[in-house]
Amino acid sequence: MKTLSDIPVGKTVKVKKLLGEGPLKRRIMDMGILKGVEVTVLKVAPAGDPIELNLRGYDLSIRKSEAATIEIEEEN
C-alpha cells in the first residue's frame, strides 16, 4: 500500500482511500482531498514536513503524518 507521503515531487496521483479517523479525516476531507481526486506533489520541505500539494487548481500544505493517511492508487 502506498500513501501520499511516499510520492516524489512532481508526480500526480489519484486518491484511493482516506485511512484516518475522526477530526483528522474530517480535516483532510475539508481540504478537498477525497477519493478519486488527482493530487500533484509540488514540494517537500528538507526535513520532509510539510508537503505542498496542488489539487483542483489550489495549492495547499499538509503534514507528513496527514499524507501518510491518504492511500493512493498504485501505478500499473
Pairing mode of beta strands 51-55, 58-62: antiparallel
pTM here is 0.85
Q: Where are the domains of the chain?
A: 4-72
Is residue 60 a contact partner of residue 31, using CB atoms and an 8 Å limit? Answer: yes
β-bridge mates for residue 19, sequence order = none
Element (H, E) at 39: strand 38-44
* Domain 4-72: assigned CATH number: 2.30.30.90
Give per-residue pLDDT as tens, 39-74.
Answer: 999 999 887 789 999 998 999 999 999 999 999 997
Pairing mode of beta strands 70-72, 51-55: unpaired
